[in-house]
Structure 1
């Protein structure tokens, strides 16, 4: 090949490489609401620390309605659920902010607790080929990346009507071709495994509990524990965290005793989801309750088995889920206080005040920073480690209850009005 033709070909290839969307070339996917491995941890670098409404914003896209669902990202596709009037919709954008498609999955939106949530509270989940979405109405659907409906069903029609005060907000979890749901409510609590490709039932089990009244309700989401050797489904609600075999639905262990010892409060339902990190399971409870660190290889009812715990802590986050980074576990209270615990011992290293507003979103970690999102749209960036240090405070002035998603060097923040892409163009 003549040298000038070779040079021209190399230059063309280089230009094409440069023009490729950076999200496709370099992104770590964020496939469910807690990101890779359900941990709330991103491995991306060079993430933004500071931004405002008009600084360090790649784009902002208006959404058809409010919701608390976290977006999920795979390569250059972003999926999020929303309401549009009375309709319940799944929206697909690309990483430039362009809407690729929007599909109506159901109808019958219900707003709860004035401004706290609606029927688009559960988040989607994706495997890179398909995306699954669930709404508090029980509507559950699977689409491919082109927006073609693969299957759709209604969980209430198949498994019983929901009896839960503020709606079934639990996000399904996906693993190895199965979609797992925890339906924990007063109408008959169940744990269900579906074939993700067809929607067919693989197994269902009744979730036994001695909880009563509103404590039968759960707004938490199931998690998959996987340390490379031990793997199981972890469900959370109705006074217990319970582990199940992924293939058969057999109960492996359960932990209770999570209510305050002074007496049973009929209104203490679980909202925060557990943390399933390799070698450690952190189980929150409800306001005024406790938090426990459980050994993953436990068996049976471990409530009163001291050797099945690493440690216990006398307070819990009520809504945001726990986060573990390195040697430390972080708990974000609803009022914005951040607690840092020693991962091995549970010793409290600090409790410090951040932005004083409701915190409904769960903390995430990336690029050496912890991001705490408050209801009024402020994100406080904190340095991890045993000493408390605020790195930045960033305001968007739009209400938010969804947790951040991280991919392609950007932080995606879903407010009640819009989806923001924070970071480089």
Structure 2
């Protein structure tokens, strides 16, 4: 007598969904465990390391000659910052991957519950065996495809910053030059402080009567102190009797103009926030903020750019000129490149994605905001700023971004030469001194590139020297032409010979630094995060002159004018001078 199996049979779709649910369930538990471990380290271990670092710094103030302690502080500071960024990176991408996994798992469970069914007819043993083989094939296929999809998603997320892809820019109508160009000449900019770190982005000035004595808490030589309406980690710029800076939150973006003589807020310019899905996905580090890029002015106009890719321009009297949305940047820490200017154009370094084919250098017409030219850049995210410098008889735009230092013709955006010499998350901005470009690879080295007869790829012909040391990950270098100084976040001040890169001295300062160093004639001005300004000689030995207190935390570089220095604190803008 033949017996037929009466066991209910599962549909092929149910079998595939069950396999998918198993794989995604196991994978989700695995990712959740890893996220919990990283979250524990981020919440518990990292603060403990930072506390240990602060304790070591306090101990160093009592043992300033303890070189082993200084080395331990440097290593711990670098390791702590790297660990924090690595954990933050995993938490962002792991969370997104877990959400995707949970969505697939939920869909698979729903399919399982809805497509279970019993066999319509009893099956013979032969039919049952054939059915089981077919179902086993479905199950293996579903498990394999799910595993491949999850692995592909993990690899994709691991190689990209947190956020949606940068949308393709709409083609812009080429900008037409005005019949009578109205812009500042190169010579005019040399007597002003028009952009990040002043003329040519060097952080150097020989303006007369720059103050070298003040005390914020008591008000000594503080000519005025004015509140800044919105937060921002950008630095002030100065043109004649006006001071410009910007501030922003996630919903508001503004440019501010102050009177240099009185500190009065003359006008506020609103730059509209462009609402789009990509902006909602932006990740902005607190240390970066929504207004990290420093504004630029040419004495006729002032322009700013913000974390979401919104750029705006006003006349120096506060009349609005234009607004452009360049697309939401993909940035691991938040967009931070300051603006530069050349004649009738505004220079934007838009290194905004891990996909190296989407970064670009853009020139916008000062008056209209239309694109004058744009050039693709073969680099991923960077946080450096473009600088317009005079190299011999010709102006050049200098840029840095892993792995390239690239120079461009500012008149048309044509690439002049490039050298591969950098790596990592490049944030310190390059400078130009003694005919060489000096660029920083964070944590590792400083490199010098000769510019004489430079053309094309000069990697094998024009690298003058490279020196290793405790290199900064935020602060840009500064040079007086014979020496170049680097200042790390943890306070390592290192001097090198510009000629050959040989180390002159290393001195550890017991403070944290986010502002780039400046040179005023023969003195280094070093502004610590705490608001302490250290004045030191620019000689071949470290000789500290004095320490001066602002009375407020500061991460912005100072701006200079004859007889004046303007400093942006976390909440207030200060003007320092010895005479009213």
Please tell me the TM-score bracket, short chain as reference: 0.7 to 0.9
Shift of 1:228: 4.3
Judge conservation of contact 1:46–1:367 (CA < 8 Å) in 2. no
Q: How many Å apart are 1:249 and its aligned residue?
A: 2.1
Separation (CA, whole Å) in 2 of partners of 1:207 and 1:84 = 29
Match among 124, 128, 137 for residue 299 of structure 2? 128
CA displacement at 1:135 relative to structure 2: 1.0
The 2-side partners of 1:86 and 1:150 are apart by 21
Pairwise CA distance, 1:107: 3.6
Give 1:353's aligned residue. Answer: 508
Give 1:204's match in structure 2, choosing from 353, 358, 374. 374
The answer to whether structure 1 residue 168 and structure 2 residue 324 are counterparts is no
CA contact (8 A) 1:335 1:358 kept: yes
Which residue of structure 1 lines up, in the alignment, with residue 222 of structure 2? 57
How far residue 85 of structure 1 moved from its aligned partner, in angstroms, is: 7.7
Separation in structure 1 between the aligned mates of residue 392 and residue 295 of structure 2, nearest angstrom: 25
Q: CA deviation at 1:83?
A: 2.6
Contact 2:402–2:422 (CA<8 Å) still a contact in 1?
no
Distance in 2 between residues matched to 1:278 and 1:250, nearest whole Å: 24
Deviations 1:82-134 (A, max 9, x none): 136831110101111011101111348988434x1311111111111111111
1:342–1:349 CA contact under 8 A, matched in 2:
yes
Greater strand proportion:
1
Does structure 1 residue 94 correspond to structure 2 residue 259? yes
CA RMSD, Structure 1 to Structure 2 (Å): 2.0
Partner of 2:285: 113
Q: Per-residue deviation at 1:318? A: 1.8
User: What do the CA deviations read for 1:204-226 (whole angstroms, capped 9, x no partner)?
Assistant: 122124xxxxxx21111011131
Which residue does 1:234 correspond to in 2?
398
- Structure 1 stretch 46-55 or stretch 75-84: which is displaced more? 46-55
TM-score, normalised relative to structure 1: 0.84
Aligned to 1:104: 270
1:203-282 matched pairs, under 5 angstroms: 203-209=373-379, 216-259=380-423, 268-277=424-433, 279-282=435-438
* Contact 1:227–1:278 (8 Å) recurs in 2: no
How big is each residue's C-alpha offset from its partner over 1:273-307, in whole Å with a ceiling of 9 and x where there is no partner?
000235121011122x221111123222223x1x4
The aligned counterpart of 2:195 is: 32
User: Does structure 2 conserve the Cα–Cα contact (< 8 Å) formed by 1:45 and 1:366?
Assistant: no
**Do the aligned partners of 1:225 and 1:278 also contact (CA within 8 Å) in 2?**
no
Contact 1:195 1:202 in 2 (8 A): yes
Give the equivalent residue in structure 2 for 1:144: 315
Structure 2 equivalent of residue 180 of structure 1: 347
8 Å CA contact 1:258–1:291 kept in 2: the answer is no
- Mapped partners of 2:537, 2:445: distance in 1: 26
| 1:27-53 Cα distance to aligned partner (Å, 9 max, x none) | 942111111232111121222223221
Please tell me whether the aligned partners of residues 296 and 339 of structure 2 are also in contact (alpha carbons under 8 angstroms): yes
Native 8 Å contact 1:136 1:169 kept in 2: yes
Residues 85 and 237 of structure 1, relative CA distance in 2, 3 Å threshold = closer
Query: Is contact 2:434–2:482 with CA below 8 Å preserved after alignment?
Result: no
Which structure has the larger Rg?
2
What is the TM-score normalised by the length of structure 2? Answer: 0.62
Larger helix percent: 2
Tell me the equivalent position of 1:387. 541
- What displacement does 1:185 show? 2.4
Unpaired stretches in structure 2, ≥5 consecutive residues: 1-189
Q: Does the residue aligned with 1:37 lie in a helix, a strand or coil?
A: helix
TM superposition shift of 1:252: 1.8
- Contact 2:269 / 2:314 at 8 angstroms: preserved in 1? no
Distance 1:197 1:99 in 2: 24
Q: Which runs of 5+ in 1 are unaligned?
A: 1-26, 210-215, 260-267
Task: Determine which structure has greater relative contact order: mean sequence separation of CA pairs < 8 Å that are 6+ residues apart, divided by chain length.
Answer: 1
1:342 to 476, 497, 514: 497
- 2:447 maps to which residue? 292
- Select 1:399's aligned residue among 553, 558, 570: 553
Residues in 2 aligned to 1:162 and 1:47: alpha-carbon distance in whole angstroms: 38
Give the aligned partner of residue 68 of structure 2: none
Whole-Å separation in 1 of the counterparts to 2:512 and 2:449: 28
Distance, in Å, in 2 between the alignment partners of 1:227 and 1:208 is 23
